[in-house]
A and B are shown apart, each in its own frame.
Chain A
């Protein structure tokens, strides 16, 4: 009962804004939701726009204003003050009602969200005891209960970075936000390494190199408006089904261009995004981590109005093979979808795992196992389409029938086998001259062997893919599958 109450009370969407050391006191914004509260804030609110805006950023309250539906914000803890007394902090001029964070509840497109927005204009948005107490209504226990999103809109350093790191998605604003454990000065003094804030922890670093952040946006407004749109894909909690929006795109729409999207030469690349865009509702796809581990594509879309999570190998990048980074990227996404009842659609064109010492030393076995584990463990509807290559272990990992796939389809161009013809023939015939390669291709580089064994449910005409997926999702909407009781599973972290 206790847990049920918690969930119903806290379908939170804590939205975090970690800010920088820049502001001076007395600059907090005066866009206040309640007239009476306005009075209490007035003494701190000169009315003029603070310097923050001049530097290309929004204030804490402006961010909330843009993120939430008009007039929907209910603020909490506006009168909380910090309890610090050292170094004259207890003097009256150093006291601010609400301290350095704005917290509360509001609506995004009518749906409930809990928000906090750190106010850099008060002590640079630094974390006081009172501040921490205000935002502590969200914590690790919420993970997997309600979706949590962090938006980094200024520098965020030290222990504070772990707060966004614990949430499900971390978005950043280009050129104005940074995330690092230790800043460039400390780096210089400890390792003598010269590095700028941007290089060390800018949006580009974290979206393309480290994989810490999931998307970066042009500016604060771009980020907040995108966040509103992103929010619409997510259920409010793990007890809610994936949201279904009104959809104008016919579910039985045929997609003729899919007939020609896979090139005739099986070594030639194509763009998996072409397939995804043409299949999903209205060509809208919210890609997660578009610049990190680009050999796998993950993101949210809708099928007949219902949110789905899409995972696809990207033949355009490194032939779409699985490596450490792409496995980890895929695994985290799959687990999020599974936690929040979002059906998974997987497009497979994978030649295998990336071979080599770099990968083996890096632990491709345990990292690859994460993706395998995530797909195997997932109990949401799982639909898989093999567009071309599905070789060896990588085939197995990509939401195959053997991992409890609900509907597994192959296009006529599919090749499902243990390995590619060339490699297989080399091993079978040990260097002997042979023309068995053609025979192998003939035998295995097609979807029939897999279909005969029931590893794929059907070989489908590519143009009918959207229709098939939509029908399957309707049928699978009531899917109920549970895993054995456990404290928690032991995913190979």
Chain B
């Protein structure tokens, strides 16, 4: 299998390889019959078959990352063991792995986080392995999402107790079973997992940390002195105050004095603790991280940076490598510091050092992630390395094969995280459902999709709603972004709400295109929330013309019957159609006339020529409007002319009627809209955690009625008006779908 893949890769390596020191090979994975997912790889598959490696690997994870690891294992000839929960029995990672063991029911705490069950699987599979004289190793390729309680944690983190202690326990148990853990050793994980300790270590390794002072400040003059030492702007707050509470930003001495006055008062009165925290304030920070790779022989490399500034609720959405912002000097400085830190903690395996970078290219250490990260593919694309392969090699004890000088930046790679979520609700609230249609844009060049789902998969409330990571590669940023646009347009996802519209808007936004981004990009660009693509006049005409042409094509087809009926079918002599199209808040008269296979459409007095194959069954429709090629998706249609079309990433709802029908429709009765103030519907699928009212209770506006938990987020549902509770349709522990009626008020 691996050998075949290699041959294919070598034969198909059309890309000029000379530019890169390592040939960047595209390889379409040959999938066995059991594996229905194919994926194009954008990293090296160079593998020395003589190099001894592990015989069998257990992948303690699910979804796309499990699939990603299995792919590399297949190439390296390593047998794989997948673990899964009962609802995941049909999951792609289970089908791809050589063996699969169920470790418990759907909730992660009972399955993927169930250490006992996983240890049991390790023992069980090892029992077989012993007879085969195989060594087993347990890989914990677990993603770490920034500060969120990621479900991908192998060991769950609750605010109350850190995962580290438990992780140590797991590592100890692995060690006692003689099982190798693919990743850094325990002390590095421990050191980097602790915020304070990691900062101290970083300081010791001469890594830039955010300069600051934490202690009792005597008076305003001392505060000014400290602030000057740190350099403006600075942030002043009471040490005891959590988060950003009572935080003040000072840009000069005057503001520092003022800040000192308020903060020290607050510190004394609110917390009874005089200590103040004065820290460098990082204005418009970018989140840039350095990928490092280290072996057990003291060698360490930095594999360039990843720009991850586009975030929502501290979760990354769009990542790219390299960053538009770094110059070679800054990059080298960051890389060298990252390597210094890795060496200082005797780090082995792949890791990521996260930095905040301010507008003057000063960078400050944030934290180090001791895991393979979600966005690792962009690094693989520009360096040509397979990080998973390198991690496995390092775990086996091999030294690194590359020197720092061998690490190129060839081309540009962009990654979009495609989520099953509704981007119109605070940039993404989870959505669930069954993928009734699913088609990855792998027919396009230089596109890589890392996914762990397939047509028919369920996106459930139990796990992360990520559908896939869509990565495009180009010789430069513009090319990579252009390909991303096309890839997003050609991505077919039906059955769940997805965030393609947001992703596409981000990558074409002028600020993003110029590289003018920060972690506040989304709230700055969409202060009132994301509303979808705003059509220009030209785009609106294109959409109207396309929709009208589709309607006419459909009408014409419905008059074509095969065979010869007893009563002849009257052939329509009609060549022109007068239509009325309702789009957003406008109604547009549209005239369509047919010339052969193309349509001439008049909108707003302007004629457009629309050509296409008019294949009405294909999920993707390529349309040429006056020479501009567009890939659109018609998501639904009905007899009444209601059509929803995905155009430029955003889904538009249109109603197309003949002129006569449109004129008559004004006589149709308006349907009374549901009074939404007296009913509470679930805004997303999830589980009811608590219901705080019962029928007959009087609630006041803004009072909490119940709490819905979805994807580990607790959402408080509040009353929209004051009233008496008429009926409660849910109870704690219930699973509810989006739009389900929860509570009715009188």
Contact = CB atoms under 8 A, between A and B. Distances in A.
Interface in A108-150: 109-112
Contacts of B567: 8, 11, 111-112, 236
Nearest to B616: A248
A62 B566 contact: no
Contacts of B616: 248, 282
B538 interface: no
Contact of A305 (B562, B572, B668): B562
Given A69-B570, A264-B89, A229 B639 contact: yes
Interface stretch (B53-61, B659-667, B692-700): B659-667
A241 B563 CA distance: 10
Contacts of B455: 256-257
B438 to A, nearest CB: 8
Given A107-B570, A264-B90, A49 B660 contact: no
B642 to A, nearest CB: 9
A32 to B, nearest CB: 15
B667 A245 contact: no
A221 B661 contact: yes
A110 B557 contact: no
Contacts of A256: 36, 454-456
A464 interface: no
Contacts of B244: none
A225 interface: yes
B667 A53 contact: yes
Contact of B560 (A55, A221, A245): A245
Contact of A248 (B435, B438, B615): B615
Contacts of A55: 669
Given A245-B561, A282-B616, A56 B668 contact: yes
Given A111-B569, A244-B563, A282-B616, A66 B661 contact: yes
A58 interface: yes
Interface in A282-319: 282-283, 305
Contacts of B458: 260
A308 B574 CA distance: 30
A439 interface: no
Contacts of A305: 562
A175 B669 contact: yes
B385 to A, nearest CB: 33
B639 A259 contact: no
Interface string B235-278: 00000000000000000000000000000000000000000000
Contacts of B435: 257
Nearest to A244: B562
Contacts of A221: 640, 657, 661, 664-665, 668
A110 B566 contact: no
B664 A260 contact: no
A51 B455 CA distance: 52
Nearest to A257: B456
Nearest to B454: A256
B618 interface: yes
A281 B457 CA distance: 21
A70 B577 CA distance: 11
A446 interface: no
A241 B566 CA distance: 10
Contact of A245 (B86, B557, B669): B557
A274 B563 CA distance: 31
B148 interface: no
B456 A260 contact: yes
A393 interface: no
Contacts of B638: 226
B147 interface: no
Interface string A44-59: 0000010001111110
B558 interface: yes
Given A69-B572, A241-B563, A246-B557, A260 B668 contact: no
A218 interface: yes
A122 B603 CA distance: 41
B408 interface: no
Interface string B448-469: 0000001111100000000000
Contact of B456 (A62, A244, A245, A259): A259
A176 B456 contact: no
A317 to B, nearest CB: 16
Interface string A350-375: 00000000000000000000000000
Nearest to B86: A264
Given A56-B669, A239-B566, A248-B615, A222 B640 contact: yes
A249 B667 contact: no
A65 B565 CA distance: 25
Nearest to A63: B664
Interface string B158-195: 00000000000000000000000000000000000000
A65 B658 CA distance: 12
B565 to A, nearest CB: 6
Given A244-B562, A245-B557, A66 B664 contact: yes
B617 interface: yes
A72 interface: yes
A228 interface: yes
A274 B436 contact: yes
Contacts of A264: 86, 89-90
A439 to B, nearest CB: 23
A65 B660 contact: yes
Contacts of A110: 559, 561, 569-572
B671 interface: yes
Given A239-B566, A258-B456, A261-B456, A225 B436 contact: no
Interface string B641-685: 100000000000000010011001101110100000000000000
A218 B638 CA distance: 13
Contacts of B641: 225
A70 B559 CA distance: 13
B434 interface: yes
A243 B562 CA distance: 8
A176 B669 contact: yes
Given A225-B640, A256-B455, A245 B558 contact: yes
Contact of B561 (A65, A239, A244, A282): A244
27 contacts: A53-B667, A69-B572, A72-B570, A109-B558, A110-B561, A110-B569, A111-B565, A111-B570, A176-B669, A219-B668, A219-B669, A220-B664, A220-B668, A222-B639, A236-B567, A240-B565, A241-B563, A244-B562, A248-B615, A248-B616, A248-B617, A250-B617, A257-B435, A260-B90, A264-B90, A277-B436, A305-B562
Given A221-B657, A239-B566, 15 more contacts: A72-B570, A111-B561, A111-B569, A225-B639, A236-B566, A240-B566, A244-B561, A244-B562, A244-B563, A246-B557, A256-B36, A256-B456, A257-B455, A260-B90, A264-B86
Question: Nearest 4 pairs between A and B by C-beta?
Answer: A257-B456, A56-B669, A53-B667, A248-B617
